Chains A and B, each alone.
Chain A
Amino acid sequence: MESTTVIRDRRQIEKAKEMPGASDALPKYGGHGYVPGQQSAATAATESSVAPLTIDGISGAVLDASDLAATRAFYTPIFGDHPGEWKETRSRLVFQTGDQKIEFMKRPRPRTLAHAGQHVAYRVETDRLESLTDVLEASGHPVNWWREDHPAELETTAYVSDPSGNIVQLVASGDMSLLVDHYYVPVEDIEHGELVYIKALRGELECYYGYRTEDVAAARRWHEGKDPAAPWTRNAFISFRTHEPNPTPAAQIFARFGQAYVGVTLTGQRIPEPPEEFLKATPRAILHTSQKPEEVTRYMATVKVSPVSLKYDGGHVPFRREGRNVFLRDRSGNFFQIECAG
């Protein structure tokens, strides 16, 4: 491939000297390492030779917990259909089952994003769901029966909050090969979210919701109290034009990674974000790849997800490698960890 000479003016050259060089270990810039004047040629040369990312599935989640003992007591019956092992330290609680694990980090003020609908869905045996919800109710955890919009979630199922406020969805299933059925995140820009989860992370766009006539009609039924849709899947903010509530479906996409999927919803709630240099934070989903970490970082350094050509933002997804894991976040502050088995 021919080398490309990039012409920059003096101001851009001076600006580039102030910014760090390409690196995945710079906390301030989160590892995207965009350097004006160097990106175009380097990116062009590497993009064509970089192996694309392949995520095999969701291998777990890391959540905050204010009280590890209460958390273990809460989740033990929920995880009861999955043979596994609990490990606990003073600051950390982990449940490992098969190829998936759920990790709880002790935090005095857990970050949950429950107000925007962030949640993890766990599979339970179909004939145990009702008795499990009875147990949860009896132990002081109110259960809501809602439905969502993925084709597999159209029937109502149980939702409950754990002792730290994390939303838990219980999915009745006859297939106990997975503990985590899906992971659901709110975003503040659904177009950018789609670029991250479909283009950058290369999830398969399984389906979408909120873009059709029937979705608008369903939102109206929800507003009239005729549809038990989960609260984060609909909204009825006052229209700036009519000054009346405008029942609207939340725009959503569903990105499949192996046997599990990530649901992404455009939220009407504001999401408080940790500082931009935080790439390893919670809550976060753990994704699994058979690739080597250096393959993943090489790929992440070249992928661009900006919908338009921006002058000073290469549209990279910030990431950082730590050993065999790559930590990243989307622009709405949802965190992910890619566990590299290669």
Chain B
Amino acid sequence: MANIEGLDHTGRSVPDVREGEDFYVSLLGAKHCNTIASATEDVRAGRGAPHPCNVLAGYLFVLFPHAKHLPLPDALKGEDGSRIAFAVSRQRFDDVVERAGDIGLSFEGPVTHPEHGPFGESIYFTDPGGNYMEICWRRDSDQARTRLAWEREAEAATA
């Protein structure tokens, strides 16, 4: 068994990494960590074009330029359900929807989920690279399987 300890990072490709980073920063509040291949030593190691690393709620993702031109999807929601979803508090969800409108983001929703389920509402959209994304609020946020919840369980198990 691999005994995975956690999610280390995700790589996402976009047509323009500067526009991509601006999207994550301006809409989702990501924080810039550093940019790989922005210094001579990285260039000499053949590390390719600059790829910025950003952190969002403890989640590290790296943006790369697409290796080749890829058509962007027409749909805002992956037909096969594939997407990365970020959670915000119920209070902030409306602000996020308003913010998305302010920056001219095309999104599907808000979609209201069944009341007996874990999710409250969601909006679905794509990032500049056509990667499917979701922002939601959860009805069970106090019991959510977040990284913090995992850490608490691990601490309790070893206590």
Q: Do A and B bind each other?
A: yes
Q: Give residues in A with beta carbon < 8 Å to B.
A: 188-191, 208, 210-217, 219, 235-242, 245-246, 248-251, 266-271
Q: Taking the nearest CB of chain A, how far is it from the CB of B24, in angstroms?
A: 15
Which of A214, A216, A246, A268 touches B40 (beta carbons < 8 Å)? A268
Q: Give residues in B with beta carbon < 8 Å to A.
A: 15-18, 35, 37-40, 43-50, 65-70
Provide the residues of chain B in CB contact with A240, threshold 8 Å: 45-47
Other than the known A212-B16, A249-B49, A266-B40, what 17 A-B pairs have Cβ atoms closer than 8 Å?
Answer: A189-B39, A189-B40, A190-B39, A214-B69, A215-B49, A215-B65, A216-B66, A216-B67, A237-B46, A238-B46, A239-B45, A239-B46, A246-B46, A246-B47, A248-B48, A251-B50, A271-B40
Q: Which of A212, A213, A267 has the most CB of B within 10 A?
A: A213
Known: A211-B17, A212-B65, A213-B67. A267 touches B40 (CB 8 A): yes
30 of the cross-chain contacts (CB-CB < 8 Å) are A188-B39, A188-B40, A190-B50, A208-B18, A211-B18, A211-B49, A212-B15, A212-B16, A212-B17, A212-B65, A213-B67, A213-B68, A216-B49, A216-B65, A217-B69, A235-B43, A237-B45, A239-B46, A240-B45, A240-B46, A242-B46, A246-B47, A246-B48, A251-B49, A251-B50, A266-B43, A266-B50, A267-B43, A268-B44, A270-B40
Known: A213-B69, A215-B65, A217-B69. A248 touches B49 (CB 8 A): yes
Which of A211, A214, A237, A245 touches B43 (beta carbons < 8 Å)? A237
- 5 closest pairs, A vs B, by CB? A239-B46, A246-B46, A237-B46, A268-B43, A188-B40
Known: A211-B16, A212-B16, A213-B66. A245 touches B38 (CB 8 A): no
Residue on B nearest A193 in the bound complex, by CB: B38
Distance, CA A214 to CA B49, complexed state (A): 11
Distance, CA A213 to CA B46, complexed state (A): 17
Provide the residues of chain A in CB contact with B15, threshold 8 Å: 212-213
Provide the residues of chain B in CB contact with A215, threshold 8 Å: 49, 65
Provide the residues of chain B in CB contact with A212, threshold 8 Å: 15-17, 65
Provide the residues of chain B in CB contact with A188, threshold 8 Å: 39-40
Distance, CA A235 to CA B42, complexed state (A): 12
Provide the residues of chain B in CB contact with A216, threshold 8 Å: 48-49, 65-67
Distance, CA A188 to CA B39, complexed state (A): 5
Distance, CA A188 to CA B37, complexed state (A): 11
Provide the residues of chain B in CB contact with A214, threshold 8 Å: 69
Residue on A nearest B50 in the bound complex, by CB: A251
Provide the residues of chain A in CB contact with B35, threshold 8 Å: 191
Residue on B nearest A251 in the bound complex, by CB: B50
Provide the residues of chain A in CB contact with B43, threshold 8 Å: 235, 237, 248, 250, 266-268
Q: Is the CB of A266 within 8 A of B46?
A: no
Distance, CA A210 to CA B18, complexed state (A): 10
Provide the residues of chain B in CB contact with A249, threshold 8 Å: 49
Residue on B nearest A253 in the bound complex, by CB: B18
Residue on B nearest A239 in the bound complex, by CB: B46
Q: Taking the nearest CB of chain A, how far is it from the CB of B45, in angstroms?
A: 5
Provide the residues of chain B in CB contact with A268, threshold 8 Å: 40, 43-44
Distance, CA A214 to CA B67, complexed state (A): 9
Q: Is the CB of B38 within 8 A of A189?
A: yes
Q: Is the CB of B47 within 8 A of A239?
A: yes
Known: A191-B35, A216-B67. A210 touches B40 (CB 8 A): no
Q: Is the CB of A191 within 8 A of B38?
A: yes
Provide the residues of chain B in CB contact with A211, threshold 8 Å: 16-18, 49-50, 65
Provide the residues of chain A in CB contact with B39, threshold 8 Å: 188-190, 266
Residue on A nearest B51 in the bound complex, by CB: A211
Provide the residues of chain B in CB contact with A270, threshold 8 Å: 40
Q: Taking the nearest CB of chain A, how far is it from the CB of B69, in angstroms?
A: 6
Distance, CA A249 to CA B37, complexed state (A): 11
